[in-house]
Structure 1
Amino acid sequence: MTSITASMFSTWKYTDLLIKCKGKEWKVHRAIVCLQSKPLASAIDGKFKEAMTGEINLYGNEPEIVQCMLQFLYTSDYKDGSIEVMTQAITNAPESAETPPRTSIKKRKVAKAKVVKISDPHELVATSAFVSPSIITHENSAAPLINAKVYIIGDQLDIQALKKLAKVKYEALVSEPWNSDSFMTSLELLYKETSEDDRVMREAAIKIAGQHAKELCDRGEFISLCK
């Protein structure tokens, strides 16, 4: 069924509802969107202007986040700007330069990155420590913040499955690679936009903050947030 609804998201065939957000529009299907969100269903089923016009304006959100939300409703997933990087790790140094090193392949999801290749991994034979022939330089990414915002729109529209997925994606990205700027922005947003009753995402962020307390305590905004 997911493959069918996913194909429906890429076309506007048989759509019967228009979602708007700051100049961007999506033609969607009520049977897919409204069945997964009680607030959206109430807007269409009730005696509101949305029911008469067949249009819902999510003006309080960002188009990029609305896109993620709608993509999830059709595919059970969404793109947050992160990528999967395959890293080749030298697990044991070879006995000589002529002996190829034994390697293992590790797969992990990271924020968008650029990869700088080492021309000859055999040049590293002098060390017995863990070395990666692919050095990954992580750029600042909006992916953690996107996931925090997706969690918030999931809370606003009562899409619990979306909230769960956003939490999983958020935890994976802010844990590694560590980026204090991106994390602090998302942390401030979560405390501002989520309710006291909904502490799932806050607690996930607090747990990660505890792992990097030394770095964060040097930041004034983190100290202010803790007060």
Structure 2
Amino acid sequence: MANVQQLQETLDAQAPLIDALKNAFHNPKHSDLIIRCADDRWDVHKVIVCAQSPVLAKACEGSFKEAEEGLITLHEEDPSVVEAMLQFIYTLNFDDSCFDIAETSGIVFTVNVHIAADKYDIPTLRKLTVSKFRDQAATGWKTAGFAEAAALVFNAGIAVEESLRERVVSIATKNAKQLLCQDEVGIRFRAVASTTPALAVALWQRKVEGKTEGPVAAKIEDSEGPAYACPSYRCRGILHSIDVDASTTCPRCHGRTLGYYWVKQSV
């Protein structure tokens, strides 16, 4: 009981600081960094933003142009995704309903935020988007947005956590009959599967294994001969033949690395 009371007291003591951080978002007072994306601009605070994103922190250090000008321009991002990322940095959450995502679905938006979290190295945001994706996929598979999200998840390589791919395969396998129907959702999903080899292979493998849950990575013991693991720590791709002097494409994350770096596994 004492531990619970102590925890509550700690949370109560932290509340003013958390509120202060939330109130600092979209407040230019004391800001010392500008982030631009397309026509949007955010006046932010280095001590807050850089503490959660090593990538943004690096841009603000040394002799980089951004450090000298106090301006970071994000050329390749969607402004709504940047807004969600910054909202999370200040509030530890982002509200999907605040964004204009009429042309896509919430589940697609979540995947894009997940990819941005990887790009700017914000692991806590990645963790949140994984949770959001799992919840959204439970009902979102009934929409055309699920197919678009599946394509993003399987084409983004190591920028997406394996658990998202597993969730897509699990949901698609569980609802295969509905996704084979000749309605908009079924037609769209089959079109994506036919043009996304990694997704098609994962679905086929899950069907062969007869499972609806669990990892979709290949099992080492299923094939004869030596096995080599993808050198990316986020991937569990396996190949049974490697040319150490040639560039090798991982069948799982689609990353390309010299065969020399693939790790030989013991069976």
TM-score when normalising by structure 2: 0.59
* Equivalent residue number for residue 223 of structure 1: 194
SS in 2 for 1:26: strand
- 1:207 Cα offset (Å): 2.2
The one of 108, 125, 135 aligned to 1:145? 108
Q: Does 1:19 align with 2:35?
A: yes
The one of 140, 162, 167 aligned to 1:199? 162
* Equivalent residue number for residue 41 of structure 1: 57
Amino acid at match of 2:194: I
- 1:201 Cα offset (Å): 2.3
Q: Does 1:30 align with 2:46?
A: yes
* Equivalent residue number for residue 157 of structure 1: 120
The one of 72, 76, 100 aligned to 1:60? 76
User: What is the count of residue pairs matched by the alignment?
Assistant: 172
Percent of aligned pairs with the same amino acid: 31
Q: When you count strand as a share of all residues, which structure comes out higher?
A: 1
Q: Does 1:51 align with 2:67?
A: yes
Q: When you count helix as a share of all residues, which structure comes out higher?
A: 2
C-alpha spacing 1:178/1:198, structure 2 compared with 1 (3 Å): closer
Q: Deviations over 1:166-219 (max 9, x none)?
A: 111111112125434111111111222242784232223222222222333552
* Partners of 2:111 and 2:133 within 8 A in 1: yes
Q: Please tell me the root mean square deviation across aligned C-alpha atoms, in Å.
A: 2.3
Answer 1 or 2: higher relative contact order, Cα 8 Å, separation at least 6: 1
Distance 2:135 2:142 in 1: 12
C-alpha spacing 1:34/1:140, structure 2 compared with 1 (3 Å): closer
Distance 1:197 1:61 in 2: 16
* Partners of 1:144 and 1:173 within 8 A in 2: yes
Q: Does 1:214 align with 2:214?
A: no
Unaligned runs of 5+ in 1: 83-111, 113-138
Distance 2:151 2:121 in 1: 22
* Equivalent residue number for residue 5 of structure 1: 21
Distance 1:81 1:207 in 2: 27
* Equivalent residue number for residue 122 of structure 1: none
Distance 2:160 2:39 in 1: 33
Unaligned runs of 5+ in 2: 1-16, 181-185, 202-267
* Partners of 2:140 and 2:146 within 8 A in 1: no
